Amino acid sequence: MDDVADVQVNHESSEVIIFYTGQTDRTEEFAQKLKMLGYPRAGENSAGRVVKSYISCAIGRMDSEKTN
């Protein structure tokens, strides 16, 4: 996404911190993008989204193992 400088994810607390340049509050834009990728805000998880999230995570892990 434009202006994103860094993203930090804390798996233990399920928090995402996004560092970006610019003065505009883009919280909702980032939340929508994360939701589209299968990572909705806490409390908004449907069963289908949970499955999608686990599948995305598993695929990412398999891809990283192939490159190692």
Domain ranges of the chain: 4-67
pTM over 0.85: no
pLDDT beyond 80 at 3: yes
Nearest one of 40, 29, 39, 36 to 4, comparing CA atoms: 29
pLDDT digit string (tens) for 18-36?
A: 898 888 888 889 888 888 8
Nearest one of 3, 20, 13, 6 to 42, comparing CA atoms: 13
Residues 6 or more apart whose Cβ sits within 8 Å of residue 32: none
Long-range contacts of 42-46 (CB under 8 A, 24+ apart): 42/14
Count CA atoms closer than 13 A to 38's CA, side-chain side.
14
